[in-house]
Amino acid sequence: MKVLSLIPPMTQLNTPYPSTAYLTGFLRSHGVDAVQEDLALALVLSFFTPEGMSEIHAQALNVSEESRSASVNFFLDYFDSYQSTIAPTISFLQGRDSTLSHRINTRDFLPEGPRFASLDAFDDEEAGDPLSWAFGALGSQDRARHLATLYLNDLSDVLRDAVDDRFEFVRYAESLASSQPTFTPLAGALQAKPTLMDLHLQELASKAIERHQPNVVLLSVPFPGAMYAALRIAQVIKKSHPEIKIALGGGYVNTELRALSDARIFDYVDFITLDSGERPLLALLEHISGKRSTERLVRTFIRNSSNQVQYLNWQELDVPFEEVGTATWDGLPLDSYLSLLDMLNPMHRLWSDGRWNKLTVAHGCYWKKCSFCDVSLDYISRYETASASLLVDRIEQIVEETGQTGFHFVDEAAPPKILKALAEELIRRKVLISWWGNIRFEKTFTPELAELLAKSGCIAMSGGLEVASDRLLNLMKKGVSVEQVAQVTKGFSDAGILVHAYLMYGFPTQTAQETVDALEYVRQLFENRCIQSGFFHRFICTVHSPVGQNPQEYGIELIPLPEITFAKNDVAFIDPTGVDHDILGQGLKKAIYNYMHGVGFEIKTQSWFDGLGVAVPKTTVSKSFIEKALYR
């Protein structure tokens, strides 16, 4: 039996999404003939060729003149330049032609569409170059990659405006799947006339099937923005190869389809599995081979003979984390991923820049108390670890296979005890890697531990400061304080480790005063070099979180959901404070953007909200709060 795992569009372009690598490595360790392909990358690259530019050009000409966006008009005006520069630019971003940076940096090589207007925001009048503040006289490779990324972003806008209005680089038709109560929007889109984007994807899927001749196809859907494309792939397979069995799984499925009862999705797939895929897959492959009855499937949805959705969950222990095997990237085009540089901030850029080997240090979260998090689901609630020795064995095996020594530890929150042991083992065995990951900013991360992690190759850390308000941090059971976060992050920064803070606004009962005060704390954290990067996320209440399950404890009232037969996750609520968080979010994001570029610290905190049509109070936070916290 041959199993083909596919990454559907869209995920990310700089490195493979790791789910298929995990599953392929696991299945091979059990003697299964398993292969994998990344159709997300393949779809984008299929357009970014001279021939692809011609196809886009034809589509753009079909857009009426009065409906054309600025991006489409610019593309049509400079089409010849786009067509001649696309191939060398892609080659440059793939690391195949570094000398092209000199031509790109002349600012005469690439056509510069609307996205290049962002360069004006930080214009250096003295130097006469809007990028000199970031790159100086050196950094020609980074400068060129930033320009080339803006160029691709312009083309992404053209693809959205002229080819398929559902397209983005990191999501595709997300609104069709995210928290959709019925399957009807997806069903309608799948039955509609295919767009040029769909036709490219269908051709890529057909070629992958012909290339590998699988008996089973696994579609991994990590986000809502990959669901539509996954089903388009399944649709092609079912039409031409109805004998192939198709299974659907991944983060989106695990989170949003747990209450599934709409059987129409099974027109496209045969099985839908929940949570960690190892045990359900072993059971499923035995079932397809005739060695296991339907009733003994594990955490699997099917459509039964009565045309109804049936959930089967034969009780078997999950595969222990130490026995899931080592991920493999065999079959993925590691030399074809695009190293993009869309954000000049040195920490923020890590998500899109560079080819990182993804690795999980521990399954689940050791804290699992945060009230905004889906702590009731397996990916958070089931906490398992592996020994440091085994983790370093996996690291060495991955480096040998990929030739890459950069690692992104993709844990929900990497445990300090495990990271300490891992660092010591890396140092003891003289394994030289660069790595970054996600943690809780807890007091266990002392300056001494930060120094040890840096010595082992740690270059960056991200973690949740969330609302930057001690009252709300206590309410959300985060287990940290603003003062503690300041001390921990400063320890990392002093050790030479970049720090990114996940920030949140709109948490239940959060007031406008607390929002302004939170931004002041964040300003001081940047100014005191505790953090180098941050991002404000709008709080979303989910049905799997403590807030969604016990709203009265958080002072809110949930708005009743409609009848759910498909996706169930986000739930709206009524907050008695009545604060317009969407408006305040505009000021927060403007401020954080400037802080990440090292400017705007002298601006009064409340001034970031000027012009938004909402009254905002002055901050009540002492201007020296963080400075004093660092020296207590």
pLDDT digits (tens, 9 = 90+) for 78-106: 999 999 999 999 999 999 999 999 999 99
Q: Are residues 209 and 275 in the same domain?
A: yes
Does residue 130 sit within a domain? no
Residue 593 CB contacts under 8 Å (≥ 6 apart), including other chains: none
Separation of alpha carbons 361 and 345, rounded Å: 26
Q: Are residues 549 and 613 in the same domain?
A: yes
Residue 366: give the domain boundaries. Answer: 343-630
Does residue 9 sit within a domain? yes
pLDDT of residue 137 exceeding 80: no
Does residue 387 sit within a domain? yes
* pLDDT tier, 129 (very low <50, low <70, confident <90, very high otherwise): low
Average confidence (pLDDT) over 565-569: 96
Q: Are residues 386 and 523 in the same domain?
A: yes
Which pair of tokens denotes residue 305?
């003979």
Question: CB burial class (10 A; 0-12, 13-18, 19+) of residue 225?
Answer: buried
pLDDT score for 174: 87
* pLDDT tier, 172 (very low <50, low <70, confident <90, very high otherwise): confident
pLDDT score for 348: 83
Which of these ranges, 39-43, 114-118, 492-496, has the smallest mean pLDDT? Answer: 114-118
Model pLDDT for residues 444-476, shown as the tens digit of each residue: 999 999 999 999 999 999 999 999 999 999 999
Q: Are residues 284 and 415 in the same domain?
A: no
Name which of 431, 354, 355, 350 is nearest 394 in CA terms: 431
What SS3 string covers 430-487? Answer: CCCCEEEEEECCCCCCCHHHHHHHHHCCEEEEEEEEECCCHHHHHHCCCCCCHHHHHH
Q: Are residues 313 and 347 in the same domain?
A: no
Q: b vs e for 386-415, b when ≥16 Cβ sit within 10 Å of the residue's Cβ?
A: bebeebbbbbeebbebbebebbbbebbbbb
Does residue 27 sit within a domain? yes
pLDDT of residue 132 exceeding 70: no
Percent of the chain at pLDDT exceeding 70: 97
* pLDDT tier, 125 (very low <50, low <70, confident <90, very high otherwise): very low
* pLDDT tier, 126 (very low <50, low <70, confident <90, very high otherwise): very low
Model pLDDT for residues 145-158, shown as the tens digit of each residue: 999 999 999 999 99
Separation of alpha carbons 73 and 79, rounded Å: 10
Does residue 100 sit within a domain? no
Separation of alpha carbons 409 and 346, rounded Å: 18
Instruction: State the amino acid at position 84 in one-letter form.
Output: S
Torsion region of 163: left, alpha or beta (phi above 0 gives left; psi -120 to 50 gives alpha): alpha
Model pLDDT for residues 492-516, shown as the tens digit of each residue: 999 999 999 999 999 999 999 999 9
Name which of 408, 321, 412, 419 is nearest 366 in CA terms: 412
Does residue 150 sit within a domain? no
CATH number of the domain where residue 594 is located: 3.80.30.20
Average confidence (pLDDT) over 163-184: 91
Query: Helices 79-93 and 50-61, interaxial angle, to 10°?
Result: 140
Q: Are residues 268 and 398 in the same domain?
A: no
Q: Are residues 293 and 381 in the same domain?
A: no
Q: Are residues 405 and 461 in the same domain?
A: yes
Average confidence (pLDDT) over 423-438: 98
DSSP states along 62-107: TS-GGG--HHHHHHHHTHHHHHHHHHHHHHHHTTS-GGGHHHHTTT
Separation of alpha carbons 291 and 220, rounded Å: 25
Name which of 398, 394, 369, 397 is nearest 381 in CA terms: 369
Separation of alpha carbons 461 and 532, rounded Å: 10
Name the residue with higher pLDDT: 511 or 139.
511
Does residue 473 sit within a domain? yes
Q: Are residues 475 and 599 in the same domain?
A: yes
CATH number of the domain where residue 239 is located: 3.40.50.280
Q: Are residues 242 and 305 in the same domain?
A: yes
Indicate the number of domains in the chain.
Answer: 2
pLDDT score for 127: 44
Say if residue 53 is preceded by a cis peptide, omega within 30 of 0. Answer: no
Query: Helices 227-240 and 196-212, interaxial angle, to 10°?
Result: 60
pLDDT of residue 550 exceeding 50: yes
Contact 385, 362 (CB under 8 A): yes
Average confidence (pLDDT) over 417-443: 97
Instruction: State the amino acid at position 320 in one-letter form.
Output: P
Q: Are residues 275 and 398 in the same domain?
A: no
Model pLDDT for residues 219-273, shown as the tens digit of each residue: 999 999 999 999 999 999 999 999 999 999 999 999 999 999 999 999 999 999 9
Does residue 291 sit within a domain? yes
pLDDT of residue 616 exceeding 70: yes
Name which of 223, 245, 279, 216 is nearest 26 in CA terms: 279
Percent of the chain at pLDDT exceeding 90: 92
pLDDT of residue 212 exceeding 90: yes
Q: Are residues 412 and 555 in the same domain?
A: yes
pTM of the model: 0.94
Average confidence (pLDDT) over 26-33: 98
Separation of alpha carbons 258 and 439, rounded Å: 28
